[in-house]
Amino acid sequence: MAQQPPKSSESRAMATPQRLQTINLKSCAARGDHVSFGQFPLLPTELRLRIWKFSIIKHRLVEIEVEAPESDLGSGHATPAPPLYSSTNALNKVISGRNYTATVQNGLHLHTKLLRVNRESREVALKFYRLHIPCRMRTSRSSSLRIGPKGQQATLYLNPEFDFVHLRHRGPVEHTTLDFMHDLKAYDPRGVGLVNLALDMNGMPFLHESLVGSYSRLRAELAAPCRASLVDTLSQLRNIIWMADSHFGRAIMGPLQDFRDAGVRFNHSMPVRSSTSSFDLLTRDPRPAAQVEPDLRYVLTACRDPRQMHVQWTELLEKWSVLPRHQINERVLFAYELPDYEAPIYDVDTADKFLAEEERSWIQGQTRRQFWVKKWAGRLPVESPEELEKASRPAIGFWLFPIKALGSLEGDIYSSKKMFDMTGHWPELALARLF
């Protein structure tokens, strides 16, 4: 049998219903096109450099888990550690010397290909990603750690002004996160370090407990450089993202999921998180208001109310007498997060496969629960074919809302699950760059 040629972008689009085609911009590589420009080396050097730079500028949400060595976490005997804050790096800056492990989650496709196209593109990439810090890389949620050839650590390349660092920590923060914050400044040639921070409902309460609950002890025990770096880093932050993505938010069976006021519905507008870190940030979700506005009434998160993180953050700044140098842009991230058993989304094909399976599962789920669906939604199926065709096209990425759009930042905001009515607050939309 003759081998079938690969599907073109046109045939793939025809095979995927319009309502399931994402609004994400697709690169030539993602579409399966092969484009070359043989005359590029003949362009003036200045023009080539401008093209390299233009192609590299992007935002990333980089998830980093910082953990203490196993001995510090209670397994085995403690290993002798070198004196802290006594050694320097290649920039001749003092580093913590702490034996923590910083692991980048979902490191697949994290670094730009311009690092390895040629010498010219690599120089541009290294200049843009000026902060180079040792780390480990996890290529996917299920893969083992891959830390470079022959067991050597990899290098994380960061641009503090464009990258958002989602910090997670295991172990005492004084042995992990605080030293890592210091080292981010030490490995930055400009001495800036962390500017854009993202924290979730595991990370922020833990940070609050350590820095506020153990304030007196930490003030006495932290090395002077660490204390100075902590206060300086907190004061210079420009952007904070509170992570409220969860495994809920699109296929909504409200009463079965403890969201009784949500009813039974499908939130087509809720973005879907991908495993890729790169994204384009749109100041406004571009999908039609007639499609998005009804979905904004039902913005769900299965984590605790994200406003708790703002309250804890405010207490932390007050406790450490931190005076922000800038007006911090606090936003809340909402998106549907794939469960661990789902294959990750990182390109056009995996996005198409997920969306098709999601729709099939939603239709079958209505049939299995038809008694309850008819009771709560009044009909089966919940949406007619005509209504489905008018629904929002899916977006792979995440929404960002200002923290104040979520309502009062005082009072009883300690619920375990939350549904927000966000009508009247149009979100920013981060669209993942699909490879």
**Res. 99 pLDDT band, cuts 50 70 90:** confident
Q: What is the domain extent for residue 421?
A: 243-308+335-432
Asked whether residue 303 is assigned to any structural domain, the reply reads: yes
Q: Which pLDDT score is estimated for 150?
A: 34
pLDDT, tens digit (0-9, with 9 covering 90-100), for 128-162:
999 999 999 887 654 444 444 333 478 999 999 99
Over pLDDT 70: what percentage of the chain? 88
Burial class (CB in 10 A: 0-12, 13-18, 19+), 99: middle
Domain assignment present for residue 227? The answer is no
Digit-coded pLDDT (tens) for 286-301: 999 999 999 999 999 9
pLDDT of residue 34: 53
Could you tell me if residue 238 is inside a domain? no
What's the number of domains the chain is made of?
A: 1
Mean predicted lDDT score pLDDT of the chain:
88
Mean pLDDT, residues 357-374 taken together: 95
pLDDT on residue 433: 92
270 lies in a domain?
A: yes
User: DSSP strand E in 105-224: where?
Assistant: 131-138, 145-146, 154-158, 163-170, 196-199
Choice between 315 and 260, residue whose per-residue pLDDT is larger: 315
Query: For residue 207, what are its two tokens?
Result: 């940070």
Q: How far apart are CA 145 and CA 136, in angstroms?
A: 7
What does the pLDDT look like over 206-227, one tens digit per residue?
A: 999 999 999 999 999 999 999 9
125 part of a folded domain: no
Bond prior to 339 in cis (omega within 30° of 0): no
Residue 25 lies in a domain: no
pLDDT band at 12 (very low <50, low <70, confident <90, very high): low
Angle at CA of residue 63, ends 32 and 401, nearest 5°: 85
Quote the CA–CA distance of 49 and 236 in Å, as a whole number. Answer: 31
Q: Please report the sign of the dihedral spanned by the C-alpha atoms of residue 397, residue 402, residue 403, residue 406.
A: negative
Residue 30 confidence (pLDDT): 47
C-alpha 11/C-alpha 297 separation (Å) is 36
Give the sign of the dihedral formed by CA 398, CA 403, CA 406, CA 409: positive
The β-bridge partners of 101 are 67
Q: Specify if 145 maps to a domain.
A: no
DSSP class of residue 409?
Answer: S
- Give this prediction's pTM: 0.90
How far is Cα 169 from Cα 231, in angstroms, rounded to an integer? 19
Residue 345's pLDDT is what? 94
In a domain, 386, yes or no: yes
Q: Who's near 10: CB < 8 A, 6+ residues apart?
A: none
Nearest-angstrom CA–CA distance, 346 and 412: 39
Residues β-bridged to residue 200: none
Can you give the pLDDT at residue 123? 93
Of the pLDDT bands very low, low, confident and very high (cuts 50, 70, 90), residue 43 is: confident
Give the model's pLDDT for residue 69. Answer: 72
